[in-house]
Structure 1
Amino acid sequence: MNYKKQSSFKGQTAWSGLLFGIGLMALVDEIIFHQLLQWHHFYDWDTPFIGIMSDGLLNAFGLFALVAGLFMFADLKRKQAISLRRWASPVFIGLAGFQLFDGIINHKLLQIHQVRYNVDILPYDLAWNIFGVILLTIGLLLLYTEKRGGRSN
């Protein structure tokens, strides 16, 4: 396999994993915290209708990202150009990226919602962001071991 084609597969593997991870975490967040626990909506500072509509948009985004990542994965699998080990790293980085973006940007900078209301928020913020850092650490460790192992796919 020539270098240009191999490099293209690496990029597609990374995008597939990132999209899958981001989509999966968006859906986990939406299903658990927005729907089952009903702690918040994606956008909390308007009417309940807007809050629920914003949740629907987040669901649509998460599902689109997850499916796009899986289609890219299936294409790589069909071409026999994917390593599950190499794919796992960007999946964890995508999971972490969504978690940390939500925890830092959405919760703190933009303040479009909090993890939970009417409680001491610090333990929730710490748990939310520490979990994101753990996911990121796993993804980076997988990336490091993969690069160090010198695998070609």
Structure 2
Amino acid sequence: MRNTSRSRWGGVLIGIGLMTAVDEIIFHQLLGWHHFYDGATPALGLLSDGLLHAGEIIALVSGFFVLLELRHQRALHVTFAWAGGFLGAGGFQLFDGTINHKLLRLHQIRYDVPLLPYDIFWNLSAVILILIGLWLLSRARKPILKV
């Protein structure tokens, strides 16, 4: 019997880890737009990026081990895992865009530019990822009719 809950949660962990990696690699390292915490010295900003990267690795490895164990037990539900991946990625991005950027003000997407277009794109893309995850979840829950 396939384990839908663990499949979904393994996917969520991988989705969170992947979206964190995209954020960390593209916006923190390649573009250099911000650090995870921009409220102090550059050295502290770099340390905060390292801690974020460590959390990303923990999420990715944990999610892969959950899915690997389920696959070994022949209990992996692939569609639930994909749904969880999209939900995790979108959930992380929406949390980052609303809580980290606006509520806690740990960092902004960019500095010295009008933020509204960046905020709209960031949070809209998060909502799109979540909607894809919800669509996959609803599709996975529908019983398959055998003819």
Shorter-chain TM-score tier: over 0.9
Identity %: 52
Structure 1, unaligned runs of 5 or more: none
Contact 2:38 2:106 in 1 (8 A): yes
Structure 2, unaligned runs of 5 or more: none
| 1:128 and 2:122 are equivalent in the alignment | yes
Q: Which residue of 1 aligns with 2:84?
A: 90
Q: TM-score, normalised by structure 2?
A: 0.95
Q: Which residue of 2 aligns with 1:29?
A: 23
Contact 2:8 2:82 in 1 (8 A): no
Q: 2:108 aligns with which of 114, 122, 142?
A: 114
Offset, 1:46: 0.1
Name the Cα RMSD after superposition. 1.3
1:49-88 equivalences under 5 Å are 49-88=43-82
2:141 alignment partner AA: K
| 1:144 and 2:138 are equivalent in the alignment | yes
1:77 alignment partner AA: R
Count of residues in correspondence between the two structures: 145
Offset, 1:149: 3.2
2:39 alignment partner AA: W
Q: TM-score, normalised by structure 1?
A: 0.91
Q: 2:39 aligns with which of 41, 45, 48?
A: 45
